[in-house]
Amino acid sequence: MGNSFTPSIKDALAGKSREKNDLPDALNQTYSEYEIYNEPFTAEQLAEKWAAFLSQLSDRPNLRSTLSNVPEITEGNKLLLRIGNSIQEQEIRNIKPELVSWLRKELRNSGIEMTTQLEKVESERMIFSDSEKMQMMMQKNPLLYELKQKFNLDFKD
């Protein structure tokens, strides 16, 4: 057997196999890129790493906007990200494996899981008529009512 570290087919057929211990120490070591980490992390650390991930998305403004809210830590390593619509949910579904893997590595916690929750955003009723617009403005600024009275302003619906 020469200096080569690969097994010889000829030797293997002859029943001469190289023992694992015959190999240099560097080859006896096993490396796992999937090491298990379980370091606790705080909401501040999560927010910092979340912002760092967002900074990598400068070429994807829609996704940045979708991920603008930092998820909350619900229990242990579980993250809950609240979103507004199904389009955002689809965008997150596409990037979720990359994002979760990145967070696990950066926060040194292999147990991180992320879920999304679709929240209904209640929109205010649209105001269409002039009198409705005036009512809304007077609610925001009561002095407007005095101007309306003083100048005898009235709107026809």
37-86 confidence digits (pLDDT tens): 888 999 999 999 999 999 998 888 888 888 889 999 998 889 999 988 88
20-40 confidence digits (pLDDT tens): 444 444 444 443 455 688 889
Residue 85 amino acid letter: N
Q: Round the average pLDDT of the chain to a whole number and report it.
A: 79
Confidence grade of residue 114 (pLDDT, cut at 50, 70, 90)? very high
C-alpha distances out from residue 62 to 56, 59, 91, 97, Å: 13, 9, 9, 18
Whole-model pTM: value is 0.56
C-alpha distances out from residue 56 to 2, 3, 33, 64, Å: 49, 46, 23, 9
Domain coordinates of the chain in residue numbers?
Answer: 1-30, 43-118, 125-157
Hey, what are 111's tokens?
Answer: 């147990």
Hey, what are 81's tokens?
Answer: 């990200």
